[in-house]
Amino acid sequence: SLNLVAFSLGDMCLTEGDEIITTVVEHHSNMLPWRHSAARHGAKVKYLECEADGSFSLEKFKSLLSDKTKIVSMTAMSNIFGRIIDIKAFAEAAHAVGAYFVADGAQSVPHSITDVKQLGVDFLAFSGHKLLGPMGIGVLYGKKEILEKMPPFLTGGEMIEYVTLDDVTYAELPHKFEAGTVNAVGAVGLAAAIEYIESIGLHNIEERELELTRIIFDGMKEIPHVTVLGSDKAEDHHGIVTFKIDGVHPHDIAAIIADANVAVRAGHHCAEPLHQFLGIPSTTRASLMFYNTEEEIERFLDIVKKIRPMMGYPD
């Protein structure tokens, strides 16, 4: 979805010397498409830096804006910090200089109530698998009046109305942007996942995940030599606890935890520039969902406490 917007919106509005603003915390999926689009049109990408707690300064953002700014794209929730960003305020500031605003909702949509009209964004994209749906499918919301002006991203079957040897008329939305055979199986699976999420209720999911986040966050703060990235408040993490342990490589941490039948992820989590910005090569991330239990968290905390002694540290 973000490649679609970056390519098509870029073709519509970017010229040489224009500027795109994104942030240092972005997943590669919301960074590389904009760099590619900028390179195609001779535009420049500018980066908004984050604060130590994973938040963004609106004033710093406004200082990057100018009449050259044509597109702003930023995450609604970092997959490293887990912090929800007040993208409504950033969208308003972007619109004030005539720029389009694109939001990456892959991390935020499964964990919080999202109202695109209230947020005021021009586009919002999110993935299916983080909503418990199939892999390889996602959703793109866009304002109709903008989508109608944008050229197609891909061409081929199913996205045309009429074709001759000399001309083509494109189909109405959304078909104009859905060339080829659609992923029907993925769409059915994603619809089922959304129905399941809605049957539980996002209010209930938010409440449950906050309970679990507080347990794991408070437990991690009590373990010596463990540092959790981002805010020092559990309620800012929304089920994401990214951490490091002094003297232990993140992949070793993940392997030890995996031996206890707990799944975490180690690496840069498709946010390598953020790790470079923070001055750390990689981290380990524990990700919670509403189906996790207190017992699973206690098992996780118990093994984290033992990691440094297992590696030979006296602690």
**DSSP per residue over the chain, as a string?**
-HHHHHHHHHHHH--TT-EEEEETT--GGGTHHHHHHHHHHT-EEEEEPPPTTS---HHHHHHH--TTEEEEEEESB-TTT-PBP-HHHHHHHHHHTT-EEEEE-TTTTTTS---HHHHT-SEEEEESGGGT--TT-EEEEE-HHHHTTSPPSS-STTSEEEE-SS-EEEPPTTGGG--SS--HHHHHHHHHHHHHHHHH-HHHHHHHHHHHHHHHHHHHHTSTTEEE-S-SSGGGTTTEEEEEETTB-HHHHHHHHHHTT---EEE-TT-HHHHHHHT-S-EEEEE--TT--HHHHHHHHHHHHHHHHHTT---
The tally of domains found in the chain comes to 2
Are 6 and 138 in a shared domain?
yes
Angstrom distance (rounded) from CA 28 to CA 274:
10
Are 210 and 280 in a shared domain?
yes
Reply yes or no on whether the pLDDT at 127 is more than 90: yes
280 within a domain of the structure (yes/no): yes
Q: Report the catalytic residues.
A: 270
pLDDT of 16: 98
pLDDT above 90 as % of the chain: 99
State pLDDT tens for residues 232-268.
Answer: 999 999 999 999 999 999 999 999 999 999 999 999 9
Are 42 and 136 in a shared domain?
yes
pLDDT above 70 as % of the chain: 100
* Cis peptide bond upstream of 281, omega within 30: no
Are 26 and 140 in a shared domain?
yes
pLDDT of 87: 97
Reply yes or no on whether the pLDDT at 115 is more than 90: yes
Domain boundary pick from 87, 120, 152: 152
Residue 78, token pair as written in the block: 């970092």
Mean pLDDT of the chain: 97
Are 232 and 300 in a shared domain?
yes
30 within a domain of the structure (yes/no): yes
315 within a domain of the structure (yes/no): no
158 within a domain of the structure (yes/no): no
Domain boundary pick from 152, 177, 193: 152
Are 89 and 25 in a shared domain?
yes
pTM of the complete model: 0.95
Angle 102-284-134 (CA atoms, 0-180°, nearest 5)? 55
72: domain CATH number?
Answer: 3.40.640.10
Domain boundary pick from 135, 152, 169: 152
- 250: domain range? 202-310
38 within a domain of the structure (yes/no): yes
Are 12 and 133 in a shared domain?
yes
Q: Nearest-CA neighbor of 38 among 63, 62, 21, 60?
A: 21
247: domain CATH number?
Answer: 3.90.1150.10
152 confidence band (pLDDT: 50, 70, 90): very high
131 confidence band (pLDDT: 50, 70, 90): very high
Query: What sign for the dihedral angle of Cα 119, 122, 127, 131?
Result: positive
195 within a domain of the structure (yes/no): no
Reply yes or no on whether the pLDDT at 315 is more than 90: no
Are 24 and 124 in a shared domain?
yes
Are 75 and 136 in a shared domain?
yes
118 within a domain of the structure (yes/no): yes
Are 146 and 267 in a shared domain?
no
68 within a domain of the structure (yes/no): yes
204 confidence band (pLDDT: 50, 70, 90): very high
Are 207 and 147 in a shared domain?
no
pLDDT of 287: 97
Are 129 and 212 in a shared domain?
no
